[in-house]
Amino acid sequence: MSQQMTLNQIRQIGIEALADKLGPVGMVRFLQQFETGKGNYSVDRHEWLTVPNVETLVKQIRQKREVNSNPS
């Protein structure tokens, strides 16, 4: 039977079987094991964790104060 089904049909039946046996939360946890992700975590992490210099921090604080003191 599986030789006549499309990949989408097989995927759908598989997801339904997982949901039946594991429940929705268990199915999601199972499927998360196979996610490969994308991008370069190391490069992205360095961008997220970049510590701004003092001038940048002062500028951001002043901008935030200006926005808060002049509500539209």
Q: Which residues of 7-27 are buried (b: 16+ CB within 10 A; e: fewer)?
A: eeeeeeeeeeebeeeeeeeeb
Number of domains in the chain: 1
Q: What is the pLDDT of residues 14-59, one digit of tens each?
A: 999 999 999 999 999 998 888 777 888 888 888 888 788 899 999 9
| Structural domain contains residue 2 | no
Question: Is residue 13 a part of any domain in this protein?
Answer: yes
Give the distance from CA 21 to its chain's centroid. 26
Per-residue pLDDT at 43: 86
What whole-number distance in Å separates Cα of residue 42 and Cα of residue 49?
11
pLDDT for the residue numbered 49: 83
Helices (H), the chain: 7-32, 41-48, 54-69
Q: Given this model, what pLDDT does residue 70 score? A: 80
Q: Is residue 65 part of a domain?
A: yes
Domain with 21, as residue range(s), is 7-69
Residue 14 within a domain: yes
Is residue 61 one of the residues assigned to a domain? yes
Note whether residue 1 is domain-resident: no
